[in-house]
Amino acid sequence: MHLAASLLLLCACAQPGSQSVVPDHGPQAEPQPIAPLDEAQFAGQSVRHAGQPNIVFIMADQMRGDFLGCAGNAAVHSPNLDRIAAEGAHFRRAYSSTPSCTPARAAVLTGQAPWNHGMLGYSKVAQRYSHELPRLMESAGYFTWAIGKNHFHPQRNTHGYRGVELDESGRVRDPGFVSDYRQWFARVAPDLDPDETGIGWNEYPAKAYVLEEKLHPTTWTGDRAVAFLNDYKKEQPFFLKVSFARPHSPYDPPQRFLDAVHLQDVPDFALGAWSEAANGNFRNPDKLSAARNNLGAAVTAESRRAYAANIAFVDEQIGRILSSLEARDMLENTLVIFTSDHGDMLGDHHLWRKTYAYEGSAGIPMLMRWGSKTLEAPRGQTRNELVELRDLLPTFLDAAGAKIPDSVDGRTLLDPVSGRGEGWRERLDLEHSTCYWPGNNWTALVGSKWKYIFNAHDGSEQLFDLVNDPQEQTNLASREDFQIVLEIWRGRMASHLEERGEKWIKDGAPTIRKGATLHSPNYPPPGWY
């Protein structure tokens, strides 16, 4: 939806008085007991609509969808995430359409496709959108709270959350910003350095966390979530977002988690003839954050092992969250959704980090558990619908019994699990503007079997059969026997891009585009609200 058409909706969604809250919870000698929240922070009118569930929205950062026990990955110990899937649904075909941190979070905030929320690559989340998830949930009668990583701009921008407790992985984008986690760390461990382990947040080396486990940001995020759940006393239903900064690098799990992952269980990295030719000559083990780097099997396996251990660490904290809900008899009146903003290539095709169309980068976990008082649907479902981060906002609004704005592109995930998924999308759009190097600029479409990628820098194409080649090792675009399939998907891409004009398509085909196009015309300009 264009910005001008959205202004009236904003008036209905805006909630006065939303502000950043920096709680002071005091020192913690041990992870338990959890320091209580200040009840004054829960001030406000209680409004509860009949049948509204509580909602716990859990995000990991940079977690690929195939690193889950319930996805068949033997290296990953994830009993609590597996429990969510077993007692709810596992969406196997979940994606992040613009797979880097900030545009992914814009999709969560708005429920929109990249062109409509305006972020086509990695840049700053807009300061305000015509409708935003926290404000909509507040309007629906929910008390909203966010813990962990938001990656908003400015960093203390709440986008309508009643309160935030931030861990921003040491990033300082605004003058004087110090995250709540680092403020807490300075109080409880004033003589220690939170970065003592010595790995940067975009680097590939793996190392066990060198400080006490109770000081790790993953523990802190779990502690704060448990504190919220233990101390929440309002009649008003809550919407709690818990956003872990791991398994995103640094790959720094506590030693006990690292010891539990056996190298023989770690999946090998994927490699095809096309990727060896394109990326195999990039060999620079000293460039710790290189997005293309042929590091060899041994180093890559160690990174993957520590990544799996980071997931197990996050999973343990999620177990504490589920236990807190059960202890307060809340679980059966709570909708729990777990996902990630994007994946991590982890050396697949000699690529690292994110921003790629390939499964390791664009594929994400999507798990949902509903309470028995929330929804009647079979449990333990494995779903094959193409789902995306834009589907979260309408899912939460649907669960709350609230109206979904017409400008939302996503669909509620409650439909397919309830047998109402008719007419679900047959394909999904993916894209990312130039990042890391000029050639990394692409648009893509993915369906139940095929993935088509158009590389805008030089016009080259890729076609993968995801049923028979899920690791995308064989590019079929140059094969004579797949030219009809290629033409079909090229035409579908042209149709998808048609509204964008001649810069994007010409003569019924996508066109070469040099340079970055980070924003569409729908990206909200500063101060428009």
Question: Domains, the chain, ranges and CATH?
Answer: 39-424 (3.40.720.10)
Across residues 124-148, what is the average pLDDT? 98
Q: Using 50, 70 and 90 to split pLDDT, how confident is the model at 44?
A: very low
First to last CA, the chain: 16
Across residues 484-509, what is the average pLDDT? 97
- Per residue in 73-82, pLDDT (tens digit) is 999 999 999 9
Across residues 478-490, what is the average pLDDT? 98
pLDDT surpassing 90 at residue 226:
yes
Which pair of structure tokens corresponds to residue 452? Answer: 């088509």
Q: Using 50, 70 and 90 to split pLDDT, how confident is the model at 48?
A: very low
Which pair of structure tokens corresponds to residue 111? Answer: 């429920």
Of 346, 465, 496, 362, whose CA–CA distance to 94 is shortest? 362
pLDDT at position 47 is 33
pLDDT at position 43 is 36
pLDDT at position 343 is 98
Catalytic amino acids? 101, 151
The overall average pLDDT reported for the chain is 91
The burial of 457, by beta-carbon neighbours within 10 Å (0-12 exposed, 13-18 middle, 19 or more buried), is given as middle
Q: Using 50, 70 and 90 to split pLDDT, how confident is the model at 12?
A: very low
Determine phi and psi for 22, rounding to 5 degrees: -115, 90
Q: Using 50, 70 and 90 to split pLDDT, how confident is the model at 51?
A: confident
pLDDT surpassing 90 at residue 40:
no
pLDDT at position 21 is 33
- Per residue in 413-444, pLDDT (tens digit) is 999 999 999 999 999 999 999 999 999 999 99
Of 367, 315, 399, 416, whose CA–CA distance to 94 is shortest? 367
Across residues 267-271, what is the average pLDDT? 98
- Per residue in 160-203, pLDDT (tens digit) is 999 999 999 989 999 999 999 999 999 999 999 999 999 999 99
Residue, of 518 and 49, whose pLDDT is higher: 518
Residue, of 48 and 227, whose pLDDT is higher: 227
Q: Give the H or E element holding residue 138.
A: helix 133-139
Check if the beta carbon of residue 218 is closer than 8 Å to that of residue 251. Answer: no
Q: Using 50, 70 and 90 to split pLDDT, how confident is the model at 30?
A: very low
| Per-position b or e across 298-327, b if 16+ CB within 10 A of its CB | ebbbbbbbbbbbbbbbbbbbbbbbbebbee
Instruction: Please state, in angstroms and rounded to a whole number, the distance separating the CA atoms of residues 495 and 445.
Output: 11
pLDDT at position 3 is 38
Determine phi and psi for 60, rounding to 5 degrees: -100, 165
Check if the beta carbon of residue 222 is closer than 8 Å to that of residue 305. Answer: no
The least confident of 6-10, 398-402, 404-408, 507-511 is 6-10
Check if the beta carbon of residue 148 is closer than 8 Å to that of residue 245. Answer: yes
Across residues 389-414, what is the average pLDDT? 98
pLDDT at position 146 is 98
pLDDT at position 10 is 31
pLDDT at position 456 is 97
